[in-house]
Structure 1
Amino acid sequence: MARTGMHMTKKGFSFQGPADGVHALKSWITPEDDLFLVTHMGFLEIDPDQWHLDVDGLVANPIRLRLADLQAMPQREYMSFHECAGSPLAPTVAKRRIGNVVWKGVPLSLVLERAKIGSDASYIWTSGLEWGEYAEVEEVYQKDLPIWKALGEEVLLALEINGRPLTPERGGPVRLVVPGWYGTNSVKWVGSITAANRRAGGAYTTRFYNDTTASGMKPVWSVAPESVIVSPSPNDLLPADVATKIWGWAWGDHQISCVEVSVDGGGSWQAAKLGPREDRSWQRFEFPWSPSSGHHVLLCRCTNELGEGQLLSDARNAVHSVQAQAGS
């Protein structure tokens, strides 16, 4: 049942993103206008004065926090890419809904410490306050984190994005942010946190957001290595035989160690220059190129510090390709 002081402003699944897709992402920090918005059940608006967060379950000190309580606690900023996992109904289709932002909020670990989380707790369940139906399922949007991740210094109860208070559309007044993990885990409009000794049993942890692997089902948690070409875009007509550059972004939960670019549709690959990352930001890559006149198929692929890379197709993080045209 919905709490008082809140209402749904739009119901049903919703996606918003820049018309030019990844080719719009030219800034190191992604402006909110260019950052995707995805909701399963719709958008929720909450009266900040009536919002509260209940922390319960396997804790010695169950607590209820108001917005003012969180605002009074120590806060930190953390830069991170923010990526949607794509549709749970089509998990091998690459959507490339991505941005790089700065979150600010209270470390989740501080709230769990205040609640005196029990030693028998192995998962933290987080529930959103929105309601409605998605894919013929009508239930609370609830996700879970293993305790080791929940206690990570980067996991925040966020109050701000890029230096501004969270809007209702972004999950405000308070949302969970789990840097390095797909956006499905960063619960918007958070209303309750429960410490438990098992995984949450709802549809968003059992039916949706699990990948089939050789060793069984794997939760959609850590972001796999991925890269995109920002420039050139298919709309650019490049001057032939003139020096230019191919550039874009690479990211993943684990730091990217190399990026390669192909200018012949994957026939050959060459190493690009790769920049550093801050916190869990994306990393910029560049590759010098003087295109001959005609049509070119450009691709990029990356590898992380663990040696994990990208598949050419049929994967959430499949290799990105761009059709480019050069002429005199």
Structure 2
Amino acid sequence: MFRTDPETPDVFLTPVEEVFIRSHLARHSGLDADTWTLTVEGLVERPLRLDFRALQGLPQRRFTAVHECFGNPLRPTVPTRAVTNVDWVGVPLAEVLELAGPRPEARHVWLEGADRGDFAGESGVSYLKDLPLEEARTEVFLAHRMNGEALRPDHGYPVRAVAPRMFGTNSVKWLTRVVLAAERPEHLFTTRLYTRVLPGESEARPVREKDVSSKLLSPPDGATVPAGAAELAGYAWSSTEVTAVEIAVDDGDWQPAELDGRGPHPSWQRFRLRYDLAPGPHRVRCRATDSAGRVQPLDGDRNAVHEIRVTAAVSGRPAGR
């Protein structure tokens, strides 16, 4: 997690009160779990309407996953670095789809939330996302607990979609409707926003899989630290496992950091490097590589390498002297 208070040390799980909140439409106050229902409709053999108790009666799964905001869809290359690591409990969407029985012609799953509002010149628009059916079967969970407690209203109470390997834009809050269809929906948040052209490609694709990224957390940006041995540390994450993190100080060479393995869940991975900081100001950068061979770019994109500025001071001597 990246805490709002830079003086607080980093931790593996983000406290719920510090999980970022993003809403394109009017902020929703949450729904009533006693009256909430989820409809599953469209190209299914058995249309469903599940209440909260019925959903809780289905097989549950608990997992830890990085939850990352893609950023402003109107400025898709600007870094935001809004990211957290959260423990979720929920029902695999595949369990619900099995009950409904997708018809052979179904190719896509639409996920729609209860929030409505105005955005990018459109009025009264709902928040809608879509995924290919087979991808939705394996990637999406219907989560109702975060870090051991019920979802809070701002985080999608009582039920939200969670796609652990994808950007948060695909994890629809206040989920009330699942539609199976033969085609993708033409919609503000599916085909007009949240698309991008990846390096080496010429056509835009939907924003889905997370980029490879990393962020330095210790020491905090702008800190004054004792000169000499220091631990430079942070977290790295991707849609797949991060295999290497390198750190560069000032204009020095990139040096390999010690990197924790990811484990069985798509959570972030801590990295650290012991480094002797000479007295004076320093620029520290980090870059990650994942198992797909992707490397953070030095600049020019939303996941460009992160850098901090710190000052190393000798005890009893003013910084910079």
Equivalent of 2:208, from 208, 216, 221? 221
Equivalent of 1:185, from 170, 181, 201? 170
Equivalent of 2:46, from 61, 66, 69? 61
Equivalent of 1:107, from 71, 74, 92? 92
Using structure 2 for the length normalisation, give the TM-score: 0.93
Question: Do the aligned partners of 1:129 and 1:140 also contact (CA within 8 Å) in 2?
Answer: yes
Provide the C-alpha distance between the structure 2 equivalents of 1:134 and 1:274, rounded to a whole number of angstroms: 41
Question: Do the aligned partners of 2:114 and 2:126 also contact (CA within 8 Å) in 1?
Answer: yes
Equivalent of 1:284, from 237, 245, 270? 270
The gaps in structure 1 that reach 5 residues or longer are 1-16
- Residue aligning to 2:18: 34
Specify the code of the residue in structure 2 equivalent to 1:257: T
Provide the C-alpha distance between the structure 1 equivalents of 2:9 and 2:197, rounded to a whole number of angstroms: 31
1:51 aligns with 2:39: no
Displacement over 6 Å in runs of 4+: none
Provide the C-alpha distance between the structure 2 equivalents of 1:212 and 1:281, rounded to a whole number of angstroms: 26
Provide the C-alpha distance between the structure 1 equivalents of 2:274 and 2:70, rounded to a whole number of angstroms: 31
Specify the code of the residue in structure 2 equivalent to 1:141: Y
How far has the Cα of 1:64 moved from its partner? Answer: 0.4
The gaps in structure 2 that reach 5 residues or longer are 315-321
Specify the code of the residue in structure 2 equivalent to 1:47: D
- Residue aligning to 2:245: 259
Specify the code of the residue in structure 2 equivalent to 1:29: L
Distance 1:249 1:18, change over 3 A: closer
The within-5 A match list for 1:114-263 is 114-138=99-123, 139-152=125-138, 154-213=139-198, 214-241=201-228, 243-263=229-249
| Count of matched residue positions in the alignment of Structure 1 and Structure 2 | 308
Specify the code of the residue in structure 2 equivalent to 1:227: S
How far has the Cα of 1:314 moved from its partner? Answer: 2.0
Which shifted more, 25-34 or 313-322?
Answer: 25-34
- Residue aligning to 1:320: 306
How far has the Cα of 1:20 moved from its partner? Answer: 4.1
Question: What CA RMSD, in Å, does the superposition of the two structures yield over aligned residues?
Answer: 1.4
Tell me the alpha carbon deviations over residues 77-131 of structure 1, each in whole angstroms, 9 at most, x when there is no partner: 0110000000001110000000101110111000000000122211100001111
Provide the C-alpha distance between the structure 1 equivalents of 2:122 and 2:304, rounded to a whole number of angstroms: 29
Provide the C-alpha distance between the structure 2 equivalents of 1:78 and 1:134, rounded to a whole number of angstroms: 33
Question: Do the aligned partners of 1:24 and 1:34 also contact (CA within 8 Å) in 2?
Answer: no
Specify the code of the residue in structure 2 equivalent to 1:326: A
Specify the code of the residue in structure 1 equivalent to 2:154: E
Provide the C-alpha distance between the structure 1 equivalents of 2:176 and 2:256, rounded to a whole number of angstroms: 46
What secondary structure does 1:184 align onto?
helix
Specify the code of the residue in structure 2 equivalent to 1:322: I
Provide the C-alpha distance between the structure 2 equivalents of 1:317 and 1:307, rounded to a whole number of angstroms: 15
What secondary structure does 1:290 align onto?
strand
Provide the C-alpha distance between the structure 1 equivalents of 2:280 and 2:230, rounded to a whole number of angstroms: 15
Provide the C-alpha distance between the structure 2 equivalents of 1:48 and 1:257, rounded to a whole number of angstroms: 41
How far has the Cα of 1:236 moved from its partner? Answer: 2.0
Provide the C-alpha distance between the structure 2 equivalents of 1:137 and 1:268, rounded to a whole number of angstroms: 49
Distance 1:181 1:188, change over 3 A: same
How far has the Cα of 1:25 moved from its partner? Answer: 6.7
Tell me the alpha carbon deviations over residues 197-217 of structure 1, each in whole angstroms, 9 at most, x when there is no partner: 111211101111000243301
Provide the C-alpha distance between the structure 2 equivalents of 1:234 and 1:141, rounded to a whole number of angstroms: 35
Question: Do the aligned partners of 1:25 and 1:99 also contact (CA within 8 Å) in 2?
Answer: no
How far has the Cα of 1:300 moved from its partner? Answer: 0.3
Provide the C-alpha distance between the structure 2 equivalents of 1:90 and 1:40, rounded to a whole number of angstroms: 14
Using structure 1 for the length normalisation, give the TM-score: 0.91
Which shifted more, 129-138 or 48-57?
Answer: 129-138
What secondary structure does 1:205 align onto?
helix
